């Protein structure tokens, strides 16, 4: 995969680009559409058994947030504290 050049992507490590490519796969787009239509149970059934069990028991829930902007330029700051 070709790495983007420019001020926006300077310093981002290769994992960001690999994750972006992986999560743009058709199966994740389909999962996103199903989640938007059917809600949290869709993600619980598609995720790990532990997540599904926690959601079903009422001990956990899934929260999502659709970001209105791209924040990739902040990736180098993750886990530096």
Mind giving me the DSSP string for 4-48?
P-STTTTT--HHHHHHHHHHTSHHHHHHHHHHHHH-HHHHHHHS-
Nearest-angstrom CA–CA distance, 47 and 64? 14
pTM given for the model: 0.41
Per the listing, tokens 């869709």 go with 42
Local confidence pLDDT in tens for the 81 residues of the chain: 444 444 455 456 787 788 788 888 888 888 888 888 988 788 767 777 887 788 889 998 877 777 777 777 777 777 665
Measured torsion, CA atoms of residues 19, 25, 30, 35, in degrees rounded to the nearest 10: 0
């Amino acid at each position: 995969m070709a790495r983007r050049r420019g001020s926006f992507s300077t310093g981002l490590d290769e994992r960001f680009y690999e994750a972006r490519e992986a999560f743009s796969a058709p199966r994740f787009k389909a999962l996103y559409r199903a989640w938007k239509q059917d809600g949290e149970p869709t993600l619980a059934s598609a995720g790990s058994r532990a997540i599904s069990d926690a959601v079903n028991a009422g001990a956990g829930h899934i929260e999502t947030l659709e970001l209105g902007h791209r924040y990739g330029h902040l990736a180098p700051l993750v886990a530096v504290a």
